[in-house]
Structure 1
Amino acid sequence: MAKTVLVVGAGIVGASVAWHLAKAGCAVTIVDAGEGGGLATRHSFAWINATWGNPEFYFHFRRRSMAGWRRLESEIPGVAVNWCGGLTWDIPAEDFDRFEAEHTRWGYGMRRVDVAEALRIEPGLRMPPEQALFVAEEGMVEPVEAARAMLAAAGGKAMMGTRVVSLVTRGGKVAGARIADGTVVEADETVIAAGTATQNLLETIGVPLRMITSPGLIMHSTVAPQRLLNGMVFAPQCNARQTREGRLIAGSDFAGADPKGEEERMARELLARVKALVRGAEDLDVGFITVGHRPTPADGFPAIGRPDGVEGLYVTVMHSGVTLAPIVGELVAREIAEGIRDPDLAPYDPGRAGLR
């Protein structure tokens, strides 16, 4: 008989977990308070990468997941990554050489470019950098679309618009979750992929997990009538990319900064920076603003696994959900369906020191 698994959360991580579990032969039920696609997911810059000062173990984990995105593209209709590359010059001069050397030593496809090559990569730059780093293997994805494609491919039972209020234990084991109308959705295993709601859900059964949920604002412009950026640019004034729809989206960094109650002012400032950065953006306006809360375990690294001493429960929570979704889904499904925990998950045990 197939193992029954309840996945709480239908963002990009929960969607990947659900699809991989279904592929492994589990009977999956997905519960989400929204309509599918997640909250953190829809507020993401959606950059698939393994860069930006990560320690080596985390770099390799992210790189492994980048390869996982190529696998998902071949297996799931509707999952499409734009492998456009990322052009970066938002690095202090004193760190530039070290940053390049470190990533090159680890095997990243990073190369230094001059003004002329930067303009070949991004002809729309008003003031191209004297030197920058380009990684051709980085990509961007429309995250809600990708999550919904995975949910559709997973099949199973989907309970959208359904809020989980607590976990349910029976005989010392997690037996499912109680939803807002009081019904208990039972399962052999319950996977929490609920983003910022993870900590509160775990607290309903006394399981500690310290998290930081800092806000980040992303400005989305009105739709440009033409292609202004080929890929992603990471400049000192802002990080920006153009969506498939044609909007330029920008943040003070790729995750966005805390607006501190001044969303409109910050969005206008970001728009001005984008116009100064990208030729052809002069007539654009602010289309809309998103402020997402990053679901980050307290030490900054993902929490992936079973909390100590709790049967029937599996936790998946991280900030870099878009990059990590493929590898997390694959390894969670293997552990639940086959009982095999991948060695690469060792640093991400949710019971590690610093999270309790």
Structure 2
Amino acid sequence: MKSDLTIVGFGIIGAMIANTLSDYINDITIIYKYNDKKSASYHSFAWINAFDKSPHYYNKLNLDSMHLWHDLYKNNFVSDSEIKFGGDLRLYENSNKIDNLHKLINSENNHGIKFLEIHKAKNDENNLLLDNFNYAIESEYDGWVDTDALINKIKKKLVTKRNIKFINAEVKNAISKDNNVKYLELDDRHNTKISSEMFLFAAGFQTSKIASMLGIYLPQIISPGIVISSKPTNKVLNKYSSINLISENHIPHIHFRQNQDNQIICGIGSQDDSQFINPKEFTLNLYAELSKYVKQKIKYSGYKYGLRVMPKDGLPIIGLCENSNVYIVMTHSGVTLAPILAQIIKSEIVDKQLVSEIDFYRMKRFYK
């Protein structure tokens, strides 16, 4: 089976890329594992943000993509069923980070964040128990995406196109010659072999594994992610789309939001691998921490966990492998960056124009 382009991965990044390229490329094959419970898109908090992301060029990339999400909403590509804007409220218990926040707000990395009177923050979100918090900032452009809903919406659109083929499988092996992929061998019952003019790997944490089959080294660190959910409850958040609470408690940084079904979705604001030592115990502790801040009684529903993408230096890996037919997209901030990555990849693959904006993120930085 041969196509003009094969995309491996159909999380939020793969879906947005496929949606954009489907208007320009005649024959696209998409390889993905249906209902993969360990994919980053499945268990992500799905926060659209650029808060304190550095260096400045990475912050700008995130901020530009945040504005694209707002444009997509205005143009009806995404609706209230798939996205929620409203900004983020971040509350601090003590002042040990306030000096750094002043520097951030006064820097070029400021993306619409500002200090807020603490009494106003508490009045705005009066369904929460916030007595212990003394400092507040808000980020006005932030939001979140219902990744499952949006991915399914894009898939329903793409399956109607004659130039798109979906294959529910994983890559078992990759065969190359002279730096180019000859074909991918899949783990389906037919051991299908896929050849293509170009291959784009956007398979989340699995991208580095597939690349290693081709002798391509993509350094990344283990970054576990767990989010818990409550059973549907009454409305908790009045104004903001998400809340970040930074305290001196056992779990010092939690963030949460309320989805369209009025479930509360909660995670932690750090890359803490202790989550994986005993996930069930950790989630119960996280639920107990969340319950401290919500006035009404909330009932625990369950949790999702998996491995998030985290390149070793924390920055995305984007671009065509040198002298190869392989394009790599691998980034931690996949939800935030999905719209701008789709635009960039269209420029590089369809228009054959290298985008200097991503020179910071090309693989060559690991081989100096």
Question: TM exceeds 0.5?
Answer: yes
Is the contact made by 2:95 and 2:135 (CA closer than 8 Å) also made in structure 1? Answer: no
* Cα distance in 1 for residues equivalent to 2:256 and 2:177: 49
Q: Is the 8 A contact 1:115 1:131 kept in 2?
A: yes
Q: Give the secondary-structure state (helix, strand or coil) at the position aligned to 1:277.
A: coil
Q: Partners of 2:150 and 2:102 in 1: how far apart?
A: 31
The Cα of 1:77 is off from its aligned counterpart by 5.3
Residue equivalent to 1:246: 262
For residues 60 and 7 of structure 1, the distance between their equivalents in structure 2, rounded to whole angstroms, comes to 27
Alignment-derived partner of residue 139 in structure 1: 143
Question: Given the alignment, which residue of 324, 345, 352 partners 1:332?
Answer: 345
CA distance in 2 between counterparts of 1:297 and 1:174 reads 23
SS at structure 2 position matched to 1:305: strand
Cα 1:189/1:121, change in 2 over 3 Å? farther
1:76 aligns to 2:90 (yes or no): no
Q: SS state of the match for residue 251, structure 1?
A: strand
**8 Å CA contact retained: 1:26, 1:337:** no
CA RMSD of aligned residues (A): 2.4
**Residue 357 of structure 2 aligns to a residue in which SS?**
helix
Distance 1:335 1:145, change over 3 A: same
CA shift in 2, pair 1:12/1:336, >3 Å: same
Measured in 1, the distance between the counterparts of 2:53 and 2:102 equals: 11
2:355 aligned residue: 342
C-alpha displacement at 1:104, in angstroms?
A: 4.3
Q: Using the TM superposition, give the Cα deviation of residue 62 of structure 1 relative to its aligned residue in structure 2, in angstroms.
A: 0.2
CA shift digits 1:244-299 (9 cap, x unpaired)? 1111121232667532332222111111111111211x2x2221111120111111
1:116 corresponds to which residue? 119
Q: How does 1:157-196 map to 2 (within 5 A)?
A: 157-170=164-177, 172-180=179-187, 181-196=190-205
Q: 1:130 to 1:77 in 2, by over 3 A?
A: closer
Aligned to 1:148: 152
- Could you state the TM-score of these two structures normalised by the residue count of structure 1? 0.90
Partner of 1:14: 14
- Residues 301-327 of structure 1: CA deviation (Å, up to 9, x unaligned): 110001233x21100011111111111
Q: Does 1:314 align with 2:327?
A: yes
1:153-204: CA deviation from partner (whole Å, max 9, x where unpaired): 3444342421111223355422442212322222211100011111111111
Maintained 8 Å contact 1:9/1:38: no
The residue aligned with 1:297 is: 311
Q: 1:256 to 1:172 in 2, by over 3 A?
A: closer
Pick the aligned partner of 1:89 from 91, 96, 112.
91
Give the conservation status (yes or no) of the 8 Å contact 2:226–2:303.
yes
Could you tell me which amino acid in structure 1 is paired with residue 180 of structure 2? Answer: K
2:221 paired with 1:218: no
| Greater mean deviation of Cα atoms: 85-94 or 187-196 | 85-94
Name structure 1 gaps, 5 residues minimum: none
Q: 1:270 — aligned with what?
A: 286
Matched residues in 1 for 2:10 and 2:21: separation? 14
Structure 1: which amino acid aligns with 2:358?
L
Identity of aligned residues (%): 23
Q: TM-score, normalised by structure 2?
A: 0.87
